[in-house]
Amino acid sequence: MRDAVLIVARPSERIDQYRAELVSEGFRVATMTDVQSGLRCLGALQPAVCVIDVCSLAEAGWQLCEAAGTIRTRRPLMLILADRSRESPASLRARARRLGAVVYARPLTPADLAACVATLVSFR
């Protein structure tokens, strides 16, 4: 079994597909639907990668990204899904850079997401 991945997003068919693809690739996956549960799970699970859908969580998703940097355990690599964001690409990149995260402003297929997570994990 591979590293743990935490997905924090509102429930959707897309998130279910991402989860299924990650599991099929051998990752242990936990899915949280709200920021508070996600923050608690970050500390308890200590995932290698945390996938945060800032579009479904709105500004609370960005707050989770900020809070993830304050956790005293192993800091996860953050993959931010912002494909439905109204922010400019430059603004998204600047926010992600400041957080030390990877941001995707375009939709990812489940296979693309799994490949991205595998790549991030390989840098750990």
What are the tokens at 116? 């991205």
From its phi and psi, is residue 118 left (phi > 0), alpha (psi between -120 and 50) or beta?
Answer: alpha
- pLDDT above 70 for 72: no
3-state helix, strand, coil in the chain (%, to 5): 50, 20, 30
Q: Which domains does the chain have, with CATH numbers?
A: 4-122 (3.40.50.2300)
Sheet holding 28-32, edge to edge: 28-32, 4-8, 49-53, 77-81, 102-104
The per-residue pLDDT of the chain, averaged, comes to: 88
Q: Where are the beta strands (DSSP E) in the chain?
A: 4-8, 28-32, 49-53, 77-81, 102-104
pTM of the predicted protein model: 0.90
Q: What is the mean pLDDT of residues 29-36?
A: 94
